[in-house]
Structures are given as structure tokens and as C-alpha cells.
Amino acid sequence: MSRKFVIACGGTGGHLAPGIALAQKLSASGYHCFLFISKKEVDSRLIEKYPELDYTPVPGVPFSLNPIRLLSFAYTLAGNFFYSFEWLRKERPDLVVAFGGFISVGVVLAAFILRVPIVLHEANRKPGRTVCMMRKLARRIYLPDGIRLRGVNASRVRYYGYPVRREVYRHETKEARKAIRFTQKGKLLVILGGSQGASVFNQWVVEHFEELAECGINIHCVTGPLQGTDGIIEGSSSSGENVQAVFQSFSNQVPELLSAADLVVSRAGAGAIAEIIQCRAPSILIPYPYAADNHQLANALFFERQGGGVLLHQEKMDSLSDEIKDLILNDWLLTRLRHNLQKMDRFNSVELIQGDLLELSGEKSEPDWVGTGNVA
């Protein structure tokens, strides 16, 4: 009988995209996968690109200490749990794989009660609340290189990286620019505000376009579905060439955008960084300063230390124009950054994870209850 896997992901692109990547791999290998995603627009817009995958939206909102939001969290968590419990009881999957976030909580609890083996994946260098809370229930936990969780036996941890979707790879620059219909002369700066968008990035483009246009720098800014609308600003370089800033609320061509870019400005979510590495896109990372536990800063610091790009704090965005010009007009430095990004892409994460899951799905031992404590 073919093995059956449930993948709990969603809520943000950083949670949903690796779930899709794993489902693509397992499905292509002949195993049945079922995705549990959120009801947010970002999930529905991304998943519609994959009609071959089975999925269902389940209730859920992020945890908050605000009394009203806390009640909403508890109410939707109950709905998530009871839906998951009934589904898992009926289908009896071999494993539940959870990628963190609020969608994972109810599914993991239901799986534990039904004695379905649980696997957790943490993408960020500061593990999130869900993974920390559920860590003792898991048969296996995938963590970023060098990260530890207190109370977790090392035998249950694997450092297999972030699985990326099969369509995320480095495209030849000319073909990538053709795919995104970029026909301008000059350099191309791509700005990505994450799956939710970043209004501060969008406003910055409006305010600084003329300055960059003078240097012949074109911009493609993905604004986010709730942060802006599609549009184009026209300008000209100091030599009279036409220059554009293109605003796009949502893109299904992120690998092409990254491959077409001379330089990328991005938030520092683990998913964004994994795709930047895969597409060899020299980058300036600006961590979201209000991310839980400031995990984006930890991601960006590690990325910068390995030579993949530059970290810039959001409060220093008044220097962003100078940083961009120093990088994007220096072809030697861009080549060096791409070389470093290639060295960072060391193994195929989704292959390693699939192999490990297939081995685990044949086991029936209890979770390893070891120790107590918080994140190391």
C-alpha cells in the first residue's frame, strides 16, 4: 500500500512554499500527500498554481495576547483541531509533517492523540513558538544548521535545509527577462516585500525612483496583494534612456524575477533566502523589525556572514540608495556574490527529507520524551 502523508503548512508563503515543495516531490514519487493550508488570500493565490495537489483550507489565526484576538485564536484552534481529528481518524496517514505557524497546532495535537507520527520543520534560525511548543511530540525535527532545541535528543534532529519548489532554480538571464517582459536597457533591481508585502518598500520606490533612474536602474517591485496595485512609473537616465519602475501586486514568476535581477532587495524570511540562494541572486536583506523573536535578523546575519549579500536594518533605509548603487554598478562584486551563493547551495533538501520520511514512516515507536526547557 502506498504511504500517505499529511503536510500542515500555510499562513505565510514561508510556511506554504516548503510544504508545496515536499508535496511535489512525494507525489512525483508515487506517494499520496494532502496539504492543510490556511484560508488567507496569500495561500489561495499560491496554491492555485498547483492543481495537481490535494489540499484543504482549515480554520486558524495567529496567536496574540490581545484579549479579542486570543479568543479568536482559541475558537479557530478548536475548529482546526476537530476538523483535523476527524480527517486523520478517517484517513489514517503514515505521517504528519508540520512546517510551523498557526495552522500546524491543531493538526499536530490531533495527530498526537491519534498516535500518528509527527515531524516538525523549522526554517528560521530562531525557532518559532509552534515548533518550540510541539517539539516533544515529534519523531523528527528538521532545523537550520547549528541550531539546537533544549530538551530534544540529538538523534531526533536532522539538518536538511529548506525544501524549495521544483520550479525554483536559476534561469538564464536573457530568458528570465523575456519571461517577465523586461525589455529595458540598463540594470534591473527587484524588490520583494515577502508574501504579505511591505508598504515601506513600496513607498521607498516611489520616493527614490528618479534618483536610481538617473543611473539607468530599472525597478520591479512586488508590492503584496494588500499593499498596492499594479502600475508603471516612467523615467529617463542621465544618458536619455527610458527607465521604468514596475509595480506588481502579486507574482507567480518569482524564480524568473530573481534570475532576471542584477540585484534584489528583500525581507529576510527563510523562504525568501532559500529562493535567493537557489537563483543565485545578489541581495540586500532588510529584516522585518517586528517579526516574532526578531527571527529575520538572525536569518540575515547568518546569510551575510556567509557572503551571500548585505544586511541593512530598516531604520537605516535612508542609505539604501547608496548601498544599491555601490552594489549594482559593480559587476565584479555581483559576480563574487553569485559565486558565494553557489557555495551556499550544498545539497538537495527535499531529496534528503523525502528519504528520511520514508524511513520514519515504517517505524511505530513512541515520541522521545527527553528533558525540558526552551530554545537554546
| Domain extents in the chain | 4-161+347-360, 173-344
What's the CA gap between 295 and 128, in Å, rounded? Answer: 8
CA 123 from centroid of its chain's CA atoms? 8
Q: Is 87 exposed, middle or buried (0-12, 13-18, 19+ CB in 10 A)?
A: middle
Q: Report the mean per-residue pLDDT for the chain.
A: 90
Asked which of 2-6, 63-67, 97-101, 186-190 is least confident by mean pLDDT, the reply is 63-67
Segment 311-354, tens digit of pLDDT = 999 999 999 999 999 999 999 999 999 999 999 998 899 999 99
306-335 as b/e: b if 16+ CB within 10 A: eebbbbbeeeebeebbebbbebbeeeeebe
Residue 84: partners with Cβ closer than 8 Å, 6 or more residues away: 36, 58, 106, 107, 109, 110, 111
**CATH topology agreement for domains 4-161+347-360 and 173-344:** yes
Q: What is the pLDDT of residue 42?
A: 80
The three cell numbers of residue 176 are 528570465
DSSP states of 179-197: HTT---SSEEEEEE--TT-
The residue type of 126 is K
Do the beta carbons of residue 31 and residue 2 sit within 8 Å? yes
Q: What is the pLDDT of residue 269?
A: 92
Q: What is the pLDDT of residue 364?
A: 44
Segment 242-292, tens digit of pLDDT = 999 999 988 889 999 999 999 999 999 999 999 999 999 999 999 999 887
Q: Look at the domain 173-344 and name its fold.
A: Rossmann fold (3.40.50)
Segment 66-125, tens digit of pLDDT = 778 778 778 888 889 999 999 999 999 999 999 988 889 999 999 999 999 999 999 999
What's the CA gap between 307 and 353, in Å, rounded? Answer: 26
What's the CA gap between 212 and 196, in Å, rounded? Answer: 25
**Residues paired with residue 300 on neighbouring β-strands, in sequence order:** none
4-161+347-360, which class in CATH? alpha beta
pLDDT at 370 over 70: no
pLDDT at 34 over 70: yes
